[in-house]
Structure 1
Amino acid sequence: MTRRVFRYVPFTIVQDQTAEPEYEARCVSGEESECGARSGTYSAPGPVEEWQRQHTQETGHRRYRRDFGDYAVLCPSSEPVAPPELVARVRPAGREP
Protein backbone atom coordinates (compact mmCIF):
# COMPACT_ATOMS: atom_id res chain seq x y z
CA MET A 1 0.00 0.00 0.00
CA THR A 2 1.37 3.41 -0.99
CA ARG A 3 0.95 6.27 1.41
CA ARG A 4 0.48 9.81 0.10
CA VAL A 5 0.53 13.12 1.91
CA PHE A 6 -1.32 16.07 0.43
CA ARG A 7 -0.54 19.55 1.68
CA TYR A 8 -2.57 22.69 1.21
CA VAL A 9 -0.70 25.26 -0.87
CA PRO A 10 -2.16 28.79 -0.85
CA PHE A 11 -2.32 30.46 -4.24
CA THR A 12 -2.56 34.05 -5.38
CA ILE A 13 -4.75 34.67 -8.42
CA VAL A 14 -3.49 37.34 -10.80
CA GLN A 15 -4.54 38.56 -14.24
CA ASP A 16 -2.48 37.16 -17.12
CA GLN A 17 -0.96 40.15 -18.90
CA THR A 18 0.01 38.12 -21.97
CA ALA A 19 -3.64 37.84 -23.02
CA GLU A 20 -5.88 40.85 -23.65
CA PRO A 21 -9.21 41.01 -21.79
CA GLU A 22 -12.39 40.89 -23.86
CA TYR A 23 -15.39 43.23 -23.61
CA GLU A 24 -18.69 42.73 -25.42
CA ALA A 25 -22.36 43.72 -25.20
CA ARG A 26 -25.61 42.31 -26.60
CA CYS A 27 -28.92 44.14 -26.79
CA VAL A 28 -31.56 42.27 -24.77
CA SER A 29 -34.34 44.83 -25.26
CA GLY A 30 -37.63 43.67 -26.67
CA GLU A 31 -41.13 42.69 -25.62
CA GLU A 32 -41.47 39.10 -26.84
CA SER A 33 -37.94 38.44 -28.04
CA GLU A 34 -34.54 40.08 -27.59
CA CYS A 35 -33.14 42.41 -30.23
CA GLY A 36 -29.91 40.38 -30.23
CA ALA A 37 -27.69 43.04 -31.83
CA ARG A 38 -24.05 42.65 -30.72
CA SER A 39 -21.22 45.11 -30.27
CA GLY A 40 -18.45 42.74 -31.29
CA THR A 41 -15.49 41.94 -29.06
CA TYR A 42 -12.94 44.58 -28.06
CA SER A 43 -9.90 44.74 -25.77
CA ALA A 44 -11.23 47.82 -23.94
CA PRO A 45 -14.69 48.86 -22.70
CA GLY A 46 -14.80 52.21 -24.56
CA PRO A 47 -15.78 50.94 -28.02
CA VAL A 48 -18.49 48.71 -26.49
CA GLU A 49 -19.96 51.63 -24.53
CA GLU A 50 -19.93 53.81 -27.65
CA TRP A 51 -21.73 51.04 -29.58
CA GLN A 52 -24.38 50.90 -26.83
CA ARG A 53 -24.94 54.67 -27.04
CA GLN A 54 -25.28 54.56 -30.83
CA HIS A 55 -27.60 51.54 -30.74
CA THR A 56 -29.80 53.29 -28.17
CA GLN A 57 -29.94 56.45 -30.32
CA GLU A 58 -30.89 54.42 -33.40
CA THR A 59 -33.41 52.05 -31.80
CA GLY A 60 -34.44 53.41 -28.41
CA HIS A 61 -33.31 50.12 -26.83
CA ARG A 62 -31.82 50.56 -23.35
CA ARG A 63 -31.12 47.11 -21.92
CA TYR A 64 -27.85 45.28 -22.60
CA ARG A 65 -26.07 42.14 -21.44
CA ARG A 66 -22.39 43.00 -20.95
CA ASP A 67 -19.67 40.37 -20.86
CA PHE A 68 -16.08 40.65 -19.67
CA GLY A 69 -13.53 37.89 -20.02
CA ASP A 70 -9.91 37.55 -19.06
CA TYR A 71 -7.33 34.92 -18.21
CA ALA A 72 -5.98 34.23 -14.75
CA VAL A 73 -2.75 32.71 -13.50
CA LEU A 74 -2.49 30.95 -10.13
CA CYS A 75 0.86 31.39 -8.40
CA PRO A 76 1.75 29.50 -5.22
CA SER A 77 1.89 32.13 -2.46
CA SER A 78 5.03 30.53 -1.03
CA GLU A 79 6.93 31.18 -4.27
CA PRO A 80 7.85 34.50 -5.82
CA VAL A 81 5.12 35.81 -8.09
CA ALA A 82 5.36 34.82 -11.74
CA PRO A 83 7.41 37.12 -13.97
CA PRO A 84 5.97 40.67 -14.17
CA GLU A 85 5.45 40.36 -17.94
CA LEU A 86 3.04 37.49 -17.25
CA VAL A 87 0.96 38.90 -14.40
CA ALA A 88 -0.28 42.09 -12.79
CA ARG A 89 -1.46 42.20 -9.20
CA VAL A 90 -4.85 43.76 -8.56
CA ARG A 91 -4.51 46.79 -6.25
CA PRO A 92 -7.27 48.62 -4.38
CA ALA A 93 -8.47 51.74 -6.17
CA GLY A 94 -6.40 54.84 -5.47
CA ARG A 95 -3.30 52.92 -4.39
CA GLU A 96 -0.01 53.20 -6.17
CA PRO A 97 2.43 50.27 -6.34
Structure 2
Amino acid sequence: MTADPSFAEYKPVPRVPKKPADYEASCVTEVSELLGLAIKCEKSSGTWQTAHAVDVWMADHTKKTGHTRYRRALADFVDSGAAEAPARSAP
Protein backbone atom coordinates (compact mmCIF):
# COMPACT_ATOMS: atom_id res chain seq x y z
CA MET A 1 0.00 0.00 0.00
CA THR A 2 1.40 3.40 -0.94
CA ALA A 3 0.93 6.51 1.12
CA ASP A 4 -1.33 9.17 -0.36
CA PRO A 5 0.36 12.56 0.11
CA SER A 6 -1.84 15.28 1.48
CA PHE A 7 -1.45 19.00 0.91
CA ALA A 8 -2.37 19.45 4.57
CA GLU A 9 1.11 18.13 5.43
CA TYR A 10 2.85 21.05 3.69
CA LYS A 11 3.99 24.01 5.75
CA PRO A 12 3.51 27.06 3.52
CA VAL A 13 5.45 30.24 4.11
CA PRO A 14 3.40 33.30 3.12
CA ARG A 15 5.17 35.52 0.60
CA VAL A 16 4.23 38.81 -1.00
CA PRO A 17 4.84 38.79 -4.77
CA LYS A 18 7.57 41.22 -5.78
CA LYS A 19 6.03 41.72 -9.22
CA PRO A 20 2.39 42.13 -10.24
CA ALA A 21 0.81 39.69 -12.69
CA ASP A 22 1.29 40.09 -16.45
CA TYR A 23 -1.66 40.16 -18.85
CA GLU A 24 -1.48 39.58 -22.60
CA ALA A 25 -3.77 38.79 -25.53
CA SER A 26 -3.19 37.45 -29.02
CA CYS A 27 -5.58 37.62 -31.94
CA VAL A 28 -6.35 34.10 -33.19
CA THR A 29 -8.88 35.07 -35.87
CA GLU A 30 -8.41 33.03 -39.04
CA VAL A 31 -7.54 35.49 -41.80
CA SER A 32 -6.66 33.17 -44.70
CA GLU A 33 -5.88 29.62 -45.69
CA LEU A 34 -2.69 28.22 -47.19
CA LEU A 35 -2.39 24.62 -48.40
CA GLY A 36 -5.48 23.69 -46.42
CA LEU A 37 -4.16 25.18 -43.17
CA ALA A 38 -5.80 28.10 -41.38
CA ILE A 39 -3.61 31.18 -41.05
CA LYS A 40 -4.28 33.25 -37.91
CA CYS A 41 -3.70 36.97 -37.42
CA GLU A 42 -1.40 36.46 -34.38
CA LYS A 43 -1.12 40.17 -33.49
CA SER A 44 -0.30 40.56 -29.81
CA SER A 45 -1.20 43.18 -27.24
CA GLY A 46 2.18 42.87 -25.59
CA THR A 47 2.50 42.54 -21.83
CA TRP A 48 0.44 44.80 -19.57
CA GLN A 49 0.04 45.12 -15.80
CA THR A 50 -3.79 45.22 -15.88
CA ALA A 51 -6.50 43.17 -17.57
CA HIS A 52 -8.26 46.41 -18.55
CA ALA A 53 -5.35 47.50 -20.77
CA VAL A 54 -5.56 44.19 -22.64
CA ASP A 55 -9.34 44.55 -23.03
CA VAL A 56 -8.84 48.03 -24.50
CA TRP A 57 -6.27 46.65 -26.96
CA MET A 58 -8.68 43.88 -28.04
CA ALA A 59 -11.51 46.37 -28.54
CA ASP A 60 -9.25 48.61 -30.62
CA HIS A 61 -7.94 45.69 -32.71
CA THR A 62 -11.52 44.51 -33.34
CA LYS A 63 -12.55 48.03 -34.36
CA LYS A 64 -9.61 48.33 -36.81
CA THR A 65 -9.74 44.81 -38.28
CA GLY A 66 -13.11 43.23 -37.53
CA HIS A 67 -11.29 40.33 -35.84
CA THR A 68 -13.16 38.85 -32.89
CA ARG A 69 -11.25 35.78 -31.59
CA TYR A 70 -8.55 36.27 -28.97
CA ARG A 71 -6.49 34.19 -26.57
CA ARG A 72 -5.94 35.95 -23.24
CA ALA A 73 -3.22 34.91 -20.83
CA LEU A 74 -2.42 35.76 -17.23
CA ALA A 75 0.99 35.00 -15.77
CA ASP A 76 1.45 35.52 -12.08
CA PHE A 77 4.59 35.15 -10.04
CA VAL A 78 5.04 32.89 -7.06
CA ASP A 79 7.82 32.83 -4.49
CA SER A 80 7.63 29.51 -2.69
CA GLY A 81 10.32 30.70 -0.31
CA ALA A 82 11.21 28.18 2.32
CA ALA A 83 8.05 26.09 2.06
CA GLU A 84 8.72 22.60 3.31
CA ALA A 85 7.37 19.47 1.65
CA PRO A 86 6.53 16.53 3.89
CA ALA A 87 8.96 13.62 4.01
CA ARG A 88 8.03 10.83 1.59
CA SER A 89 7.17 7.56 3.18
CA ALA A 90 8.38 4.33 1.63
CA PRO A 91 5.74 2.11 -0.04
TM-score, with structure 1 as normaliser: 0.60
Moved over 4 A (4+): 13-16
Tell me which residue corresponds to 1:24: 24
Distance 1:13 1:68 in 2: 23
Distance 1:13 1:64 in 2: 36
Is 1:56 paired with 2:34? no
Alignment partner for residue 47 of structure 2, among 41, 51, 54?
A: 41
- Alignment identity in percent? 30
Distance 1:53 1:64 in 2: 11
Distance 1:13 1:65 in 2: 33
Structure 1's 38 and 13: CA in aligned 2 closer, same or farther, altered over 3 A? farther
Structure 2, unaligned runs of 5 or more: 1-6, 33-37, 85-91
Cα displacement (A) at 1:72: 1.1
TM-score, with structure 2 as normaliser: 0.64
Distance 2:39 2:15 in 1: 36
> Matched residue pairs, number?
70
Cα displacement (A) at 1:51: 0.4
Cα displacement (A) at 1:76: 3.7
Distance 2:67 2:13 in 1: 37
Higher helix share: 2
Structure 2 SS opposite 1:56: helix
Cα displacement (A) at 1:16: 4.3
Cα RMSD, aligned residues only: 2.6
Is 1:70 paired with 2:88? no
Amino acid at match of 1:68: L
